[in-house]
Amino acid sequence: MGEQQQTATSWWMTTREVAPGPSLAGDLDVDVAIVGGGFTGLATAYFLRRDEAAMRIAVLESERIGFGASGRNGGFNMTLFGLTLGITALRFGKANAAAAHHYMERAVDTLRDLVHDLRLDCDYEHPGFLRVATSESYRSRIQREIELAHKIGLLGIEWIDADRLAQEVRSQTYLGAWWEPRCGLLNPAKLCWSWQERLSEMGVSIYERTPVQELARDGQRLRLLTANGVVHADKVVLATNAWSHFFPQLRRKQLPVWTHIVLTEPLEAKHLAEIGWQHRQGIEDARDFVHYYRLTADNRLLMGGRDVTTARGMEMDHDLNDEIFAGLRRDVVETFPCLDGIRFADQWGGPVSVPVDMAPAMGYAGDHNLVYSLGCVGHGVSLTHLNGRTAADLVLGKKSDLTDIFFVNRRTIPWPPNPLRAIAVKAILGYMHYEDRKMDARPGSR
């Protein structure tokens, strides 16, 4: 376990031992090079290779597979696109909001089916999702969202009142919830490594500890420079998520924003008896700075969210934030007072990729030889897997219902350069904090 403990970026990464893969040593010639070994890169490699068994594919990962958000997240396989349905409808129109939700439903089902069909070992369970109202204001917000969902024809989402909710999960802070059975939970690091095994079996070459330092055109082809070799490729997929700003082609499409998680020791039987939660649903609240929480396979409570950390410049070293960790530990006990005194086993954070309008973007960067996918914000576990299918279609030049969706090849709003960017970020976060304070404080709230 020694090697793994030192390099773990989340508790998930300690739940299985995986031998490190090779790094690139020497030059390489491939049909497709995929930069980034998270869910986006891994799923894209899978769908490409499934369609084109002879295609030479290399995945190049800076650190190790699952090092990014994919090995650190809450593990919710869920339907939320962007921030909320209402915001998506406002920004892209109601028809696109409905299309986005259908895409996400398909994404959730695609991931569930892949896990089953390929026997991806990731402690998968399918308990459904609750978005809980923790004040009267949030109750109204959630009910408005459900009304909108029904108005635009979305099924499978209903309001459950406080009494019915208490039969499922008991917290004094709950006034009712959005209930959506279509949601799974999984161990994201195990999923990454299962993908790594399946792809290797399928003949995809995976190189860890191989950061791509430069991407350049080379006639009709592309050239990727790494410390120990040059990769020549016909096509490249940038699956670099929150690190995408290091590539000039994507520099202003997204910003990295860090979300943070705390994890308890396994809950005791007496705690579970008091809380209920026998069906183990994934839970979020309805704040702008959402809390998300769930049980792990061994009944630890994982809670993330509450606030975020942002970068000032290009730096990527904001995984740890003691103030947010302390706040989350308090929030666990405020939500479930019987956990007062529980020991916390771990804490970590990771970067998500955030475009100005907080909605995903993918497509061609320049010509059709360079494909990118980013901007899944905090809701990419399902999305990245279906985006892998979509990215594969883009690489293969196939027009499909997936490549026709509105966020493929959409015009993104560029983040402005500093100091304007810093001012914009401060204003957006300031407004979200203000709104949360206002909505937290209404009568009926905790």
Ligand X SMILES: Cc1cc2nc3c(=O)[nH]c(=O)nc-3n(C[C@H](O)[C@H](O)[C@H](O)COP(=O)(O)OP(=O)(O)OC[C@H]3O[C@@H](n4cnc5c(N)ncnc54)[C@H](O)[C@@H]3O)c2cc1C
Q: Where along the sequence are the contacts to ligand X (CB under 6 A)?
A: 35-41, 60-63, 67-70, 72-76, 78, 211-212, 239-243, 246, 259, 261, 292, 304, 349-352, 376, 378-382, 384
Cβ closer to ligand X: 175 or 365?
A: 365
Closest chain position to ligand X (CB): 380
- Using CA atoms, how far apart are residues 124 and 121, in angstroms rounded to an integer? 8
- Using CA atoms, how far apart are residues 84 and 91, in angstroms rounded to an integer? 11
CB of 394 to ligand X, least distance (A): 15
CB of 419 to ligand X, least distance (A): 26
CB of 440 to ligand X, least distance (A): 22
361, 412 in Cβ contact below 8 A? yes
CB of 234 to ligand X, least distance (A): 19
Cβ closer to ligand X: 99 or 239?
A: 239
One-letter amino acid at 239 equals A
The H-assigned helical ranges of 299-376 are 322-335
Cβ closer to ligand X: 355 or 378?
A: 378
How many Cβ atoms sit within 10 Å of the Cβ of residue 325? Answer: 18
- Using CA atoms, how far apart are residues 116 and 124, in angstroms rounded to an integer? 9
Query: Nearest Cα to 358, choosing from 250, 255, 436, 247?
Result: 255
CB of 391 to ligand X, least distance (A): 10
Cβ closer to ligand X: 176 or 282?
A: 282
Give how far Cα 219 sits from Cα of 37, 76, 222, 391, Å: 27, 42, 8, 23
Cβ closer to ligand X: 246 or 289?
A: 246
For residue 230 the two structure tokens come to: 């040059």
CB of 273 to ligand X, least distance (A): 26
347, 323 in Cβ contact below 8 A? no
First CA to last CA distance, the chain: 42
CB of 159 to ligand X, least distance (A): 22
Query: Nearest Cα to 259, choosing from 299, 237, 287, 295?
Result: 287
CB of 101 to ligand X, least distance (A): 14
- Using CA atoms, how far apart are residues 267 and 278, in angstroms rounded to an integer? 13
SS3 category, 319: coil
CB of 444 to ligand X, least distance (A): 27
Cβ closer to ligand X: 90 or 227?
A: 227
Q: Helix axis angle, 420-440 relative to 136-151, nearest 10°? A: 110
CB of 190 to ligand X, least distance (A): 14
Cβ closer to ligand X: 370 or 376?
A: 376
CB of 348 to ligand X, least distance (A): 7
Cβ closer to ligand X: 88 or 241?
A: 241
Q: Helix axis angle, 94-117 relative to 85-92, nearest 10°? A: 130
SS3 category, 10: coil
Residue 366 buriedness (CB in 10 A; 0-12 / 13-18 / 19+): exposed
Cβ closer to ligand X: 69 or 283?
A: 69
- Using CA atoms, how far apart are residues 333 and 274, in angstroms rounded to an integer? 13
For residue 386 the two structure tokens come to: 């279906």
Residues in Cβ contact with 113 at an 8 Å cutoff, skipping those fewer than 6 apart? none
- Using CA atoms, how far apart are residues 283 and 336, in angstroms rounded to an integer? 13
Cβ closer to ligand X: 39 or 103?
A: 39
Cβ closer to ligand X: 211 or 276?
A: 211
